């Protein structure tokens, strides 16, 4: 009996091509060694981003910033708040040097050089889910930022304006938030700050809506 003959059969036209290898969006040791990160950076595959590295073809979006925050020890058990929440939403372009998280009295853990945890009571409607992380709602974020004073007041005001420009909250929603609570620390200041934030700045001094929207690409927070 003769041996069967074998010949190459090309894949069908509708066959799915193999998926090329792709680095995760955000990387930190020990996912790769320091030497591997250095080599990947020299090869133009990654660049330094926050406390780790980012694939060069990864756009800077809410999803990427969420991945950065998810890698901070202790933050998964907390609610992202204040300037960290504003950065996550895309209302500010630069991440704060120290991120802020709110925890219940029973959930407090040690702070780290990049994370400050505060004991703050939150209502269920003050938080929402963002890809598995809890974050204060845009309106609650505005209220918290509006309480900032001193050297923190200016950056906080710009973050509030960013949240308003993106349409994530509005002065009316923040005032309603204050009115719905019996006792709000700094309620009168919150009112003054949001009214100031609603004033139209001089043209060219702040990023426009289209610029901020490109920075805050949609990510389902449900």
Reply yes or no on whether the pLDDT at 221 is more than 60: no
Reply yes or no on whether the pLDDT at 104 is more than 90: no
Tell me the three state secondary structure of residue 143.
helix
Q: pLDDT at position 111, please?
A: 66
Q: pLDDT at position 22, please?
A: 59
Kindly list the domain boundaries of the chain, sorted by start residue. Answer: 25-58, 59-215
Q: What is the pLDDT of residues 28-58, one digit of tens each?
A: 777 777 888 888 888 888 888 787 888 888 8
Structure-token match 């938080």, residue found: 127
Mean pLDDT of the 59-82 span: 89
Q: In this structure, are residues 34 and 7 in contact, taking their beta carbons and an 8 Å threshold?
A: no
Q: What is the pLDDT of residues 156-187, one digit of tens each?
A: 999 999 999 999 999 999 999 999 988 888 99
| pLDDT band for position 214 (cuts 50, 70, 90) | low
| pLDDT band for position 208 (cuts 50, 70, 90) | low
Describe the crossing of helices 82-89 and 62-70 by its angle, rounded to 10 degrees: 140
Higher pLDDT, 23 or 176: 176
Tell me the three state secondary structure of residue 103.
strand
The pTM is what? 0.75
Q: Work out the percent of the chain whose per-residue pLDDT is above 90.
A: 44
Closest residue by Cα to residue 83 from 71, 73, 91, 75: 91
**How many C-beta neighbours within 10 Å does residue 146 have?**
24
């Amino acid at each position: 009996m003769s041996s069967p003959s074998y010949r190459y059969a090309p894949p069908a036209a509708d066959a799915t091509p193999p998926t090329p290898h792709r680095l995760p969006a955000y990387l930190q040791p020990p996912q790769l060694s320091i030497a591997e990160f250095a080599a990947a950076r020299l090869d133009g595959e990654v660049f330094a981003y926050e406390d780790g590295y980012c694939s060069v073809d990864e756009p800077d979006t809410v999803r990427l910033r969420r991945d950065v925050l998810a890698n901070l020890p202790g933050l998964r058990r907390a609610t992202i708040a204040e300037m960290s929440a504003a950065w996550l939403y895309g209302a500010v372009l630069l991440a704060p040097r120290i991120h802020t998280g709110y925890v219940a009295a029973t959930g407090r853990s040690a702070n780290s050089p990049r994370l400050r945890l505060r004991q703050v009571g939150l209502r269920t409607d003050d938080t929402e889910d963002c890809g598995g992380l809890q974050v204060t709602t845009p309106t609650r974020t505005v209220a918290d930022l509006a309480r900032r004073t001193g050297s923190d007041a200016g950056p906080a005001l710009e973050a509030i304006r960013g949240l308003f420009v993106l349409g994530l909250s509005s002065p009316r929603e923040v005032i309603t938030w204050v009115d719905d609570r019996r006792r709000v620390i700094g309620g009168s200041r919150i009112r003054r700050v949001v009214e100031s934030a609603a004033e139209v700045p001089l043209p060219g001094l702040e990023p426009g809506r289209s610029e901020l929207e490109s920075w805050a690409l949609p990510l389902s927070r449900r």
